[in-house]
Structure formats: structure tokens, C-alpha cells
Structure 1
Amino acid sequence: MHLDPLIIFFAFGFGYLASRVGLPPLVGYLVAGFALSTQGYTSGPIIQEIADIGVTILLFTIGLKLKIRNLLKPEVWAGASLHMLITVAIFSAGLMGLAATGMTFFAGLNLKTALLIAFALSFSSTVFAVKILEESGRSSSLNGRTAIGVLIIQDIFAVLFLTFSTGKIPSIWAIVVIGALPIARWLFMRILNRIGHGELQVLFGFFLAFVAGAWAFNIVGLKADLGALIMGMLLAPHARASDLASSLYSIKDFLLVGFFLEIGLAGLPSLATLNAALLLVMVIPIKVALFFFLFSRFRMKARTSLITTLNLANYSEFGLIVGGLAVANGWLERDWLLAIAVALSISFVIASPFNKIADTIFEKVRLLLKQFETEERHPDEEQYDAGTWQIVVLGMGRVGTGAYDYFTEKFGPVVLGIDFNADTVDTLLENGKHVGLADVSDPDFWHKLPTSGAMVRLVVLTMPNLASQLYVVKKLKERGFPGQIAAMATYDDEVDVLREAGVSTSFNVFAEAGFGLGSHICKEMDISDIKSMKPEDKA
């Protein structure tokens, strides 16, 4: 058994075309799966194995970025629970209504089956949301943390359903595995301190996800994917958890191609199945409206509520897993599984461009949506005071913090750092830095800035996402910012793009790191015995 080169060709070809028209490549992978199914291809053992490995790694990396306290936020656990309960109630009632009309595909549905289908449709896609958030660089923002938290709560419900519906009772040894987690965490934390940054770190990540997590849980009757997720969560507080997640990033992306191909390879639907899938897609606005209403009730601003909602405006791969189990147990007809798969695929295609233009959508309906805001603000969205700073650093990661320290040492306390990660801001505040919690991609942030008399002379952009940098430059230009703008880039072609957009100076941060190293060596070390030589002398 081997992986047919044609599968790779189709996956790359359609993924590339999707990216060229502004859609995430995952949409192209879905289309590639459908195209291959027309040529007689089906999802074989290799594709299924790649898909399973990809999802396991995905859940592990999600866990690495997730802190337990984020799940305890009311907008997360209560929002996810209320949304699921209300969605199941509304969707099951709608399905029973369609069954009463005598429509062929829905005929014969009973309440139990309707509840099961509604439960499968209540989930949103973890794979889709994580990809969107990673591409936008917003995983650590309030909307990113909330979306991922809601998905984790949903995943927990799914795991509980799968556990109880299979009738498998966890082994008595499950107590031992659960009880050993604190010891395992202590041990793995120390190994991570000494593992380095090379291939051994990648292998350690696979060990944690598949052996310490998935395999250990599976052998005692617990869900394997839950084990991978929990193992990631245990190591999330470690200072190098993000490095570990980054080392698995590209591998995870490649493996997840198999997941999306597998959905498409389920085959093309019949006309009746396609009609049913389209009906399922047409009710997604109900999920969207409900998410937005609930998030706004938990004091999130209209824009944050909308963007978080759009991250969740689709159906889920876990719905397919639930549906697959129901089919295997004879509770559901196989046509329903295909209908859910098609609806899932269409929901991805529709949701992708909406997530791309989320800010544009908000600007067009801003006044309408802001009517749903509560007077009291979420703690992470309190009013931001622009102050009278002369230099502002947007993005307080390692590069941003380094720039902040340099300018502070050179000019004194005239520098303000801004970041949308509450944990980063708290840590920097504890270290005595002047840092504000704000989301510069939020239009409200720009509306709160003073229009005249601003003291800021220099804005330094150190966000890793090019689209976010271009958005900030556009907003500064629209507001007639009189100062200068500097930006970092991670690729040479981005330097040109930023300069064309109006940035005063831009540089490749990795190239500059080499110059900085050389300068540091000359400053800190006595290398006066090295004689200078001109090129013509060497010749």
C-alpha cells in the first residue's frame, strides 16, 4: 500500500488555487477529495492513518496553548454549554418539522434520531478555527482564546458521548493513569528543560502526544484524543511550550491535509443528499446569531463577539465522528453521514471568506451590532488610555520587547508597548514595563485614539502577521499620522510590500539578527588582533 502521487498532485494543485483566490488551502484539499472521488478513489488506510495522526497532533498543540483557567471563563464554559443546549433544541425541532412534511430524505425520523443529528450539528470545527486563528496570528487574543475554549468544551462533550455510547467502561487502571498525571507532568517538564531545539524536541512532542497521551489513555479505556489534549494542557504553563508547538507546526499542517482529503473522498452525494446538506447549511445563521448573542451577553464587545462567532460559523469534524459512530451502531442511515460531510465542506467554503473580511463586515454593520453591547466591559476589553507616549511598539513578543528595551535605554520612559495577549501584558507589567492591553486590529482601538495633538513620533510594528501590519499602516495613514512607521518582516519580499504600503523603514528581522550579532561581538569582545583587509589586498 502506498500514497498515490496523484493524490499529492491534486491536494497541492487545488490547495494552491484556493490560496490564490484568497481562501485557506484547506478548502482546496476538500475540493481535491471530491475530485478524486469522481475518479474512483476512496479513503484508504494510509489516508485515514495520516488524518488520525494529524488530528492527534492538532489536539496536542491546542493543549500546549491552552491554560485551564481559560476554560473556567463564563463566556467559555457557559457560552459553549448554553449554545449546545439551545442549538440541539432548535435543530431537533426543525428536523421533526421537516419529517412531518413527508419530505423523502427526512421521512421516518424519530425524536431520538433528530436529537442525535442535532447534537452532531451543534459542534464547530476545531481544525478550521485553529487554522484560521494561526493564519491571522490571533490565537492569543481574547477572541482566539474564547473560540478555542468553546471548541474544547464542545470536544469534551463529544468525548463523553463517544465514551458512553460505545458502552465501554474505562478500566480500573484508568484511575492509576489519571493519578499519575501530576508525576508525569513534573517529569516531562524537566525533560523539556533539557531536550534542546532540534529533532529530539520534535520526537519528544510525538512521544507526549501518542505515547504518554493517546496510547496511555487508550489502553485503559479512555479516549485517545482526549489523552493527547490533556497531555498538551499539562505542559502549557512551561516556558518552552510555544517552542514545542512551533516545532510540530509544519508536520501537523501536512498531516491535516489527509483529514480534509478524507472528508472529500467520502464521495459525491446524490441529489436528495445534496438537497438535505443545503438545508443544513441554510440553518447555520441560527448558530451564528446565537453565538453572537451569547458572547455579547458575557460583556464582550460587538467586534470581538462577531469575529469569535465567525471562527465558529461552521459544522465540525467531530460531528462526523459522532455521525460515524451512530451509523456503526445502526442508529443513523449512512446517507445522513454523507449529508453532514457535504454540509461540513460547504460550511468551510462559506466561512473562509467571511473570516477573511470579518473587519470589513463589522465596519458595515457596526452601529447595528454595537446595540447588543452591555454597558459593563469584559475585563480584557476595558477602555484604553492612549497617553502621551512618543514611541509605541505594537506587538510585545521577543522582538518587540527587545525594541522596547533599546528605546527605553536610549530615550528614557517615553515608550509604550501594546499587545493583545493578557498573559504577556501581565508578565511585562510585573517586570516594570509600560504596556497596554489592546487589539490594534480592532477598529474601536483607532476610534479611541486622539485625532490631534498626539505626542507619538514613532510607531514600531513587530507583529508577526503581515496582514495585521498592513492594516495598522492603513489606519495610521487614514488618521493622518504625522510620525514615522518602522516594521519588521520575516521574508525579503515582505520588506518591499511594507515599504510600498507607506512604512518608513522595514527590515528582515532574521537578516538583521546577524548584523546585530556581529555588532554585539565587536562591542563585547577584544578582537583588535584581527587585521582589516580590503578586497583588492586579497586578490
Structure 2
Amino acid sequence: MDFIWIFFAFTCGLAVKTVNLPPSIGFLIAGFALNFLGYQADDSLKMLSDLGITLMLFTIGLKLNLKSLFKNEVWLTSSLHTIMWMLITFAIIKVLAIVALSYFAEIDSTTATLIAFALSFSSTVCVIKLLEENGEMRTRHGKLAVGILVIQDIVAVAFLVFATGKTPSIWAFALLALFFIKPIINRLITFVGHGELIPLMGFFIALGSYELFELVNIKGDLGALIMGIFLASHPKATEINKALLSFKDLFLIGFFLSIGFSATPTLEMIGLALLLVLVISIKFGLFFGILCLLKIRCRTAYLTALALSNFSEFGLIVAAISVANQWLSNDWLVILALAVAISFVITNTLYRFAHSFFSRYKTFFHQFERQTCLAEDTFCQPTQAPIVIVGLGRVGMGAYRAIREHGNTPAWGLDAESEKVERLSEQGIQAYCGDAEDAFFWERINLAKLELVLLALPKVIDSISVSTQLRSAGYKGKIAAIARYDDERTELEEFGIDKVFNFYAEAGVGFADESMELLTSNNGLNS
């Protein structure tokens, strides 16, 4: 049966990829198909799903800045959204109960509150996968979305404690000892080197923290998240995250399959699930409106709200606990499972067109933006530097240093990660924070002063998006980009990028050229 799961997951994932949709939608379809054919999930699938969620939360923590959770645009947005959403959704459910719509007719106020609460959360798995697939985890809207999700996860854990009656034991205070042994953990991570022990170390810490928190009656997934945050400052945090990436993606297939296995729907249930999905537009409107009121740029607010416009797998957990306590009928578990799955499909589909849609209707969205914005979103252009390097990773910083050594033409760097920009600025590097995929960003600066834009971005889709925004804003200079493979290089050249470098091939050429200089200098000495 395990092979059947793999076969269906691969086939459905490949099928949706051919129509330019994320494979995770195919995995959801595979789960429903297997369920329809009579297959049942067993413990191995649940184990894979749990492993995937634990690793995902751990890797989120590795990339999370704890200070960001205390920003108004994170905690206040999450709090206001939950309160307003529950009031509105409760009212809608009661109206449907009054008109005696099927399954709503017998809902009392307690049940309506539970359903509204279950639907208030956005899916951590869906949103993180969405951001990762689009290379937007470290963008302004990506970090906002993740911060809001973490706040929601904390609320979720609090509900589980209340609903299950599982209160932390007195030994939970012993977890404070982690602060004292952190230097030992850091030295251990450093000692393991860069080989196969790195992913094993990641598993050890993630699963170890899960078990440790479970021992003191605290949700283990919360322990994995906290431990990831705890180790986020370690120099190898990024390396551990990359080492776990493939494992996490593989295990999360089990999660998407399990959603399909959880539902045995009727046509009536599908209709009610679709009805619930319609209120996602309210979720988007609330997130967008609150973020704009808190002085977030309209594009950032739009992308954050769109990414969070789905229902969460946590809704199924709430529903399952409610069914066990006889607060909710079992049929509602199936309806909510369908609504969650459909919301995943809708979010993944709509987000593929998010950037182009915003570019087309940016004037409409701009009218909701406040006249003043947060200090983090302001930008002061360096006027004497005609070269900008977009993306300050290893390749981008290599290009920046090479241009500085050349000495004739100054350059500045642009990156969406504020923490990285702050760190580089302290080193004397002209680094600035900004989202290069934002059309308004390029419209707010003087493009006439720019002669060359270097796109040191890992994904082709990002380079194409930035180039599109540059050209639409009226940029007339040259654009260079990097590619990893020959087909990517061809795609960028056909798109109109002036110069494309295959950095694997170019690294080999540079290595050979500089090495040959050793022979030249040697011959000079011998003569």
C-alpha cells in the first residue's frame, strides 16, 4: 500500500505541475482519490505527517527573529483579525441557522463559536510551502506572514491545553535550563562539521526537543519551534535548514495525503464546504485592511493577506477534539476537512498570479495605503552609485566586493532581509533593505541614476519578476542575472536580460584563469 501512496502522490503531483500548479495540490487530490478507492491511512502515514510538521516548525524557528513577533504589525494584526473574524463568522453561521440551511439548522451558539474559531487560523504548512516555492520566505510580506502564523500557533497550543485538560507539569520550569546548556549545544553543532552529521543533528535536535516538551505536558511541535528560534543565531542555522529541506518536503507529502484520507464526503457536504470557502474573501479583506491601517505598504499588505487567505489544518484538530467532547457532530469534521483542502487549492492557484494581478491594479490598491509608512519600509537611495546588486547572498556579495576592488564605479546592494542588511551595514557595506519585486519601490527612486542592475537571485522567476518591474517603471539601463542551469540561462536571455551568467560554469572559468596565472608567474621567475 505504501507504493500505492507514492504512485498516486507522484502521478497527481506531476499532473498538476504540467498545468503550472504546485505539486502540493496534486498530493491533496491523491489523498481524496485514494480515500474514494477505499484505501485507509495507517500509522506510517500519520508518522510521516507528524515528522513533516515537526521539521517544518523547527526550520521556521531557525529562520525566525524573535523580536519580530513583538512588532505591532505582527501580534496586533493577528489579535485583531482573530477577534473580528470570529464575530463576523459567528454572525454568518447564525444567519444560516436561522434560514434552516442543512447542517446549520441545529447549530447552537457554542458550536457556532467553535466553527468560527476553527476557521480563524491560516495553514502554517500551506503558507510556508507557498512562500518557499516562490522564494519569498525572507521578503517583508513573507516574514510578516510567518510571524502572524507563529502567533496563531501559540494561540492554538493554548486552546489544546484548555480543551484536552493537559496542563504543563511542574517540571516545565526545568526547560529554563536550556539557556545554561546552549553553549554546549552550539559547540556540538560546530563540531559535527559539514557532512552527513548535519541533517542527523537537525533531526536529533528537532525530535529531541519535541519529546522533551511532551515529557512536561507541553505540545511537542511548540518545542520544536522554540528550539529552532533558540538556535537561529548560530552560524550553521542556515546550513541545518538547507540540510533538512528535502526531508521536510518529503514527509509533508504524508500530511497532504492524510487530509484526503480524513474525508468521506457527500455532494451536500461538498456544497457546504464550498459555501464556507466563500468567506475566505472576508479573511483576506480583514488582513489587508488591518495591515494597511498599521501603515504597511499596500503591496506588502496585499501579498501577506493573500498568502494567509486559507483555512488551517489546525481547524481539523479543533474539530476532532470537539467531536470527541461531543461539542460537534462527526459530519462537521468531514465538512471542515473539505473546506481546508479546497482553500489550499484556491490559495496556491491565486498566488501564482498575485504579482501580475497587483501590477495591473496597483492604482486601486494604492488608495488604501497610508500617507506615512513604517520606518522599516522607508528607503533612501545612494545618489552616487550607478550599480545596484539585488540579492546579497554569497554570489551578490562576491559581485559587490569585486566591483569595489575595481574601484572606478561605486555600487550598492539591495536585499529583502532587514537583519542581513543591518549586519552588512555594520561592516561598512552599502546595503539597503527593499523588495525589488515591488513596482512601487522602483517608482519611488530615481532610475535615471542607475546604469546597471545585477540580479544575484537564486530563482529564475524572481529575476524575471524584478526585470518586469524595472522595465515597467521606466528603467533604461542594462540588466545582468545569474542562472544555475543552461535551460535557465536560455529562458532569461529569451526574456530580454542583457547578460546571463551560469555561475557554476563561470566559477570554473574564473578558477582556471586565476590558476593559470600561477604558471605565468612561475615562468617569469624561472626566466
Structure 1 residue 519: deviation in Å?
Answer: 4.0
TM-score normalised by length of structure 1: 0.93
**5+ residue gaps, structure 2:** none
Counterpart in the other structure of 2:315:
319
Counterpart in the other structure of 1:279:
275
Given that residues 217 and 224 in structure 1 are in contact (C-alpha distance below 8 angstroms), is that contact kept between their aligned partners in structure 2?
yes
Counterpart in the other structure of 2:453:
459
Structure 1 residue 199: deviation in Å?
Answer: 1.3
Distance 1:430 1:413 in 2: 22
Given that residues 386 and 449 in structure 1 are in contact (C-alpha distance below 8 angstroms), is that contact kept between their aligned partners in structure 2?
no
Residue among 380, 402, 407 paired with 2:403: 407
Structure 1 residue 383: deviation in Å?
Answer: 3.8
TM-score normalised by length of structure 2: 0.95
Q: Residue type matched to 1:58 in 2?
A: M
Residue among 505, 512, 517 paired with 2:506: 512
Q: Residue type matched to 1:270 in 2?
A: T
Counterpart in the other structure of 1:157:
155
Distance 1:527 1:324 in 2: 74
- Which whole-Å deviations, capped at 9, do the CAs of 1:48-97 have from their partners, x for residues lacking one? 11111100100000111111101011010111011111111211222122
Counterpart in the other structure of 2:191:
194
Residue among 102, 105, 109 paired with 2:103: 105
Distance 2:83 2:470 in 1: 44
- The 3-state SS of whatever aligns with 2:38 is coil
1:35 paired with 2:29, answer no
- The 3-state SS of whatever aligns with 1:487 is strand
Distance 1:363 1:487 in 2: 22
Counterpart in the other structure of 2:172:
174
Given that residues 384 and 438 in structure 1 are in contact (C-alpha distance below 8 angstroms), is that contact kept between their aligned partners in structure 2?
no
Counterpart in the other structure of 1:364:
360
Distance 1:193 1:526 in 2: 40
Residue among 266, 270, 283 paired with 1:270: 266
Counterpart in the other structure of 1:381:
377
Structure 1 residue 517: deviation in Å?
Answer: 3.5
Residue among 86, 92, 95 paired with 1:94: 92
Distance 1:480 1:106 in 2: 54
Counterpart in the other structure of 1:78:
76
Residue among 210, 215, 224 paired with 2:207: 210
Tell me whether 255-264 or 417-426 shows the greater mean CA deviation: 417-426
- Against the structure 1 CA distance between its residues 379 and 97, is the aligned structure 2 distance closer, same or farther, given a 3 Å change threshold? same
- The 3-state SS of whatever aligns with 1:246 is helix
Structure 1 residue 419: deviation in Å?
Answer: 0.9
% identical equivalent positions: 42
Distance 1:461 1:506 in 2: 9
Structure 1 residue 391: deviation in Å?
Answer: 1.7
Residue among 332, 338, 355 paired with 1:342: 338
Distance 2:151 2:377 in 1: 23
Distance 2:134 2:510 in 1: 29
- The 3-state SS of whatever aligns with 1:256 is helix
- Against the structure 1 CA distance between its residues 441 and 45, is the aligned structure 2 distance closer, same or farther, given a 3 Å change threshold? same
Counterpart in the other structure of 1:303:
299
- The 3-state SS of whatever aligns with 2:367 is helix
- The 3-state SS of whatever aligns with 1:374 is coil
Distance 1:96 1:478 in 2: 48
**5+ residue gaps, structure 1:** 530-539
Tell me whether 460-469 or 186-195 shows the greater mean CA deviation: 186-195
- Which whole-Å deviations, capped at 9, do the CAs of 1:153-177 have from their partners, x for residues lacking one? 000000111112111222221111x
- Which whole-Å deviations, capped at 9, do the CAs of 1:393-427 have from their partners, x for residues lacking one? 11111110110000111034611111111111111
1:486 paired with 2:502, answer no
Structure 1 residue 271: deviation in Å?
Answer: 2.2
User: Runs of at least 4 residues of structure 1 off by over 6 A?
Assistant: 524-527
- Which whole-Å deviations, capped at 9, do the CAs of 1:473-498 have from their partners, x for residues lacking one? 33444456443322111222111111
Q: Residue type matched to 1:152 in 2?
A: V
Distance 1:32 1:290 in 2: 32
Structure 1 residue 386: deviation in Å?
Answer: 6.0
Structure 1 residue 332: deviation in Å?
Answer: 1.3
Given that residues 394 and 419 in structure 1 are in contact (C-alpha distance below 8 angstroms), is that contact kept between their aligned partners in structure 2?
yes
Given that residues 315 and 344 in structure 1 are in contact (C-alpha distance below 8 angstroms), is that contact kept between their aligned partners in structure 2?
yes
Counterpart in the other structure of 1:533:
none
CA-based RMSD of the aligned residues comes to: 1.8
Residue among 249, 252, 265 paired with 1:253: 249
- The 3-state SS of whatever aligns with 1:105 is coil
- Which whole-Å deviations, capped at 9, do the CAs of 1:333-376 have from their partners, x for residues lacking one? 11111111111111111111221111222233322222221122
Distance 1:313 1:324 in 2: 22
Counterpart in the other structure of 1:537:
none
Residue among 467, 488, 496 paired with 2:490: 496
Counterpart in the other structure of 1:119:
117
Structure 1 residue 526: deviation in Å?
Answer: 9.2
Distance 2:239 2:193 in 1: 10
1:235 paired with 2:203, answer no
Structure 1 residue 524: deviation in Å?
Answer: 6.8
Distance 1:470 1:258 in 2: 33
Counterpart in the other structure of 2:442:
446
Counterpart in the other structure of 1:134:
132
Given that residues 42 and 267 in structure 1 are in contact (C-alpha distance below 8 angstroms), is that contact kept between their aligned partners in structure 2?
no
In the TM superposition, what are the counterparts of 1:384-395 in structure 2 within 5 Å?
384-385=380-381, 387-395=383-391
- The 3-state SS of whatever aligns with 1:418 is strand
- Which whole-Å deviations, capped at 9, do the CAs of 1:271-301 have from their partners, x for residues lacking one? 2211221111011111110000111111101
Counterpart in the other structure of 1:48:
46
